[in-house]
Amino acid sequence: MKIKLLPFLAVLAIVVAAVSPSPAYAQAYSTSFTTSITYQNIGSGPAQISLLFYPSPDTTDPIEITRPDLPAGASTSLFIGGLNDIPNNFRGSAILQANQPILATLVQLPQNSTTVRNRPLSNGFLSGDSTSLIATVLKNNFETSTIFSVQNVGTSATTATIRFYNTSATEVHSMTVNIEPGAAYFVDAGQVSQLGSSFNGSVVVTSNGQIISSAMELSTTGPAASAFEGVGSGSTTFYMPSALCNAFGSNTSYAVQNTSLTESTNVTVTYSNGATETKTIGPGAKQSFIACDATGMSAGFSGAATVTSDNTPVIAIGKAYGSGLSTAFVGASSGSNELALPYVRWANDTNWNNGSQQRTFITIQNIGSSNLAAGDVVVEYIDKNGTVVGTHSLPAIPAGGKVNSNASDAGLSEFGVYPDGSFGGGAIVRGPGGSQLAVVGRVSSLVGPGSFVSEDYNAMPIAP
């Protein structure tokens, strides 16, 4: 089946099957997840929507699902588990097509678990690359294993080579797979015997076509779960909108991968309070940077950071942990003056306190060279019908600094949830022309008195 509607968005639909689950589903790694695709129309008119689902790497005849038109600015969700045409235990990929530009975020919902409450979040892609890099991949390391997928977003079959590098820059294992257009190949690192009993490293995927990748990190002993996207190419500078050292009971670490397969590089992480840490990273390898380990770091720090490489391009993944957080987000190599977040919720006090609904907290970093004055940047909260129902005018943001926003800052006591039980709402962050912003959304759920789980995802640019 040809893809006829443009522009289109390639969406990775990860649905993880159970792996010998315990009765209480205490482990994220042994929990089943089902995907909800949340998508936002960032065009100027109604969007005609259809999706093509690919159950296996060799699929050539996808399952097509047509969706109702989506008004300009509106956001909505599609729960894959509610589609009669999609079989149980589906684990594959999808392409979302529209006649308007669409952005999408995937929400992985844990099924039948009394302990795993976090909802891993990752974004779809507008295009692919011949290379895709996954900055951190684990097998039974830090009590975590990684499941990742590689999707062919080209128009013809591709051959992809998947290489595993440990932190010493040694290629431990490689595999070559064939993937049909639109389809995806899944790798469960926990089941790859060639990685030994445990593995801590990164993955480089190369192909003769256009590919993208996405990963989930799942605890093998507890409920922690997170997701993030692979990156097609690196940069010598990456910006990290979230950095914590013993702040609010939480910390951050960054996995930084060297994109070169032949040269080493020295990488420095500089935090917005001036603290720094430098490490050497070998070809294809990664190193971890923990905020509290930086020279000059003080406890209670909450800010942002910049990652710089002196020789080769790198990529960076941020993680927040502690006090229920198990989050992942991709560092930004460049910014935009307008960015969208398709998945934004703000539970009212009753539904937040009883744990039935979520709240989204938005972090905005100014990665440009000029300070931004108060009111230069606004956050628009847009309901499921495409109507702006609240606006938050942000305070001044110095170059390299960050500020926060949520729906209550726009005067809303509830957002993205409706009396009829439906959901849908997003946000657009708008700065002045030429400004450079990087934005991360943190979606949280209260799971007990003073206890919550959270996951991060990146806002997506809608303007240069």
Domain stop point among 186, 207, 229? 229
The pLDDT tens digits of the residues spanning 91-127 come to 999 999 899 999 999 999 998 888 899 999 999 998 8
Mean pLDDT value across the chain: 91
3-state helix vs strand vs coil in the chain, percent to 5: 5, 55, 40
DSSP 350: H
297 and 223 together in one domain: no
In 282-435, the DSSP E strands lie at 286-290, 301-309, 314-322, 325-330, 338-341, 359-366, 378-383, 388-393, 402-405, 425-430
Average pLDDT over residues 281-301: 97
Does 408 fall in a domain?
yes
DSSP 120: -
Res. 6: pLDDT tops 50: no
pLDDT at residue 463, rounded to an integer:
60
Single-letter amino acid, residue 427: A
Does 407 fall in a domain?
yes
Position of tokens 């992942």? 328
Does 3 fall in a domain?
no
What are the tokens at 419? 């009396």
Contact (CB, 8 A) for 153 and 125:
yes
The pLDDT tens digits of the residues spanning 351-405 come to 999 999 999 999 999 999 999 999 999 999 999 999 999 999 999 999 988 999 9
Does 299 fall in a domain?
yes
348 and 326 together in one domain: no
> 261 burial class (0-12, 13-18, 19+ CB within 10 angstroms)?
middle
Question: Rounded CA gap, 176 and 160, in Å?
Answer: 6
Does 395 fall in a domain?
yes
Total count of domains within the chain: 3
212 and 245 together in one domain: no
CATH of the domain at 390: 2.60.290.11
Percent of the chain at pLDDT exceeding 90: 86
3-state secondary structure 154-206: CCCCEEEEEEEEECCCCEEEEEEEEECCCCEEEEEHHHCHHHCCCEEEEEEEE
Contact (CB, 8 A) for 126 and 9:
yes
Please list, in sequence order, all residues whose beta carbon lies within 8 angstroms of the beta carbon of residue 193, skipping any fewer than 6 positions away: none
Question: Rounded CA gap, 65 and 124, in Å?
Answer: 17
Res. 261: pLDDT tops 70: yes
- Other residues' Cβ atoms within 10 Å of the Cβ of residue 194: 10
318 and 343 together in one domain: no
Q: Domain of 280? A: 237-330
Region of 421 (left: φ > 0; alpha: ψ -120 to 50; beta: rest) is: left
3-state secondary structure of 349: helix
29 and 161 together in one domain: yes
The pLDDT tens digits of the residues spanning 53-87 come to 999 999 999 999 999 999 999 999 999 999 999 98
Does 102 fall in a domain?
yes
161 and 243 together in one domain: no
Nearest to 153 by CA among 228, 91, 212, 93: 212
Question: Rounded CA gap, 429 and 438, in Å?
Answer: 10
Does 1 fall in a domain?
no
